[in-house]
Amino acid sequence: MFIKRLPRFEYHAPGSVPEALELLSRYGGAAKLLAGGTDLVLAMKKRNVTPAHLINLKTIPGLSGIEADGEGVTIGALTTIAEIERSSVIRETYTALWDAALVMASPQVRTLATIGGNLVSSVPSADTAPPLMVLSAQARITGPAGERTCPVEDLFAGPSSCALAADDILTGIRIPIPKGRGVYLKSMRRAALDLALAGVAAYLACDGGKVCTDVKIALGAVAPTPIRAAAAEKVVLGKVLTEELSAEAGKVSATVCRPITDVRATQEYRCSLVEVLTKRALLQALNRLNQGGVQ
């Protein structure tokens, strides 16, 4: 039975990250952090989670926005997917992440959903995870011991299980300026609202002779967590990318993934999607690299 009314909880509106950390320390497992709320509010209505305390991170200044500098870009954890979609900086330079913003959920959801929430939800199909992984993004985390960073892929402990400690807060994402170009492709049953059956992000950098000097491939929705396809990357690295080589990398990617069979798709079908999407993503990344941007 679907329950529309939210369970009772005490609402907190901290004005700073230290204040939010103090609230987390005080209430422990009885508290939940609220960012965009697209997943949490639904889970609360269904009584999947019933926090006694809700800590709204939106009341903290400085946790949203996209700031570029000479070395990269910093994206606040509360930056919405719609803001990423509209950003010329993301569209022109961090192309794989822009792709993900375009195909994630519906326009209405994108105005609420945040990049931080999408990551800490740790669902295998999180659209922003594979692009951030191939872009070598670092998560910025604040906890009782201070600030630290870690690779984005280290945030994922398992399906819907985030590796952050209960008293940690994800405050932002840092992405270095890429030398190459990336692509994110996703297969789903419907044009919007649906989760990925499979998602593939690919990143390429090449030298003047078109030899691939850096290759990264990440897969979503086909393992307990988003994963890198390191074996497929090795197929392409140090070589000139051709259609045949990209097809070979696709076959290797399909052997790396560990999808499940559920009501949405079989394991075999998801593996076949990974093979096709990997090939397409590599070729489209090369095309973007040759053209100098999103095409």
Q: Give yes or no for a contact between 260 and 224, defined as CB atoms under 8 angstroms apart.
A: no
Q: How far apart are CA 290 and CA 133, in angstroms?
A: 22
Q: What is the pLDDT of residue 191?
A: 60
Query: Would you place residue 1 in the very low, low, confident or very high pLDDT band (cuts 50, 70, 90)?
Result: very low
Please state the rounded mean pLDDT for residues 173-189.
96
Percent share of the chain, pLDDT over 70: 97
Q: How far apart are CA 242 and CA 244, in angstroms?
A: 5
Q: Mean pLDDT across the chain, nearest whole number?
A: 95
Instruction: Using CA atoms of 215, 172, 35, 156 in order, give the dihedral in degrees to the nearest 10.
Output: 40
Residue pLDDT, tens place only, 30-39 = 999 999 998 8
Query: Would you place residue 193 in the very low, low, confident or very high pLDDT band (cuts 50, 70, 90)?
Result: low
Quick one: which of 194, 197, 200, 190 has its CA closest to 262? 197
Provide the residue type at 15 as one letter.
G
Q: Which two tokens stand for residue 107?
A: 């326009």
Provide the residue type at 21 as one letter.
L
Tokens 């690295």 sit on residue: 237
Give the long-range contacts of residues 260-266, CB within 8 A, separation 24 or more. Answer: 264/189, 264/195, 264/197, 265/197
Please state the rounded mean pLDDT for residues 208-225.
96
Same fold, 68-176 and 181-290: no
Q: Give yes or no for a contact between 193 and 185, defined as CB atoms under 8 angstroms apart.
A: no
Q: Which two tokens stand for residue 252?
A: 């290797």
User: Which residues are CB-neighbours of 86 under 8 A, at least 6 positions away?
Assistant: none
Q: Give yes or no for a contact between 194 and 187, defined as CB atoms under 8 angstroms apart.
A: no
Which of residues 44 and 281 earns the better pLDDT score? 281
Q: How far is CA 5 from the centre of its chain?
A: 30
Provide the residue type at 151 as one letter.
P
Question: 18 phi and psi, to 5 degrees?
Answer: -55, -35
Q: Which fold has domain 10-56?
A: 3.30.43
Q: Which fold has domain 68-176?
A: 3.30.465
Reduce the DSSP state of residue 217 to 3 states and report it. strand
Residue pLDDT, tens place only, 123-161 = 999 999 999 999 999 999 999 999 999 999 999 999 999
For the 181-290 domain, the top CATH level (class) is alpha beta
Percent share of the chain, pLDDT over 90: 87
pTM of full prediction above 0.85? yes
Q: How far apart are CA 201 and CA 100, in angstroms?
A: 9
Ordered by start, the domain boundaries in the chain are: 10-56, 68-176, 181-290
- Compute the chain's Rg from CA coordinates: 19
User: Which residues are CB-neighbours of 110 under 8 A, at least 6 positions away?
Assistant: 80, 81, 82, 85, 101, 104
Q: How far apart are CA 45 and CA 36, in angstroms?
A: 15
Q: How far apart are CA 180 and CA 174, in angstroms?
A: 17
Provide the residue type at 85 as one letter.
E
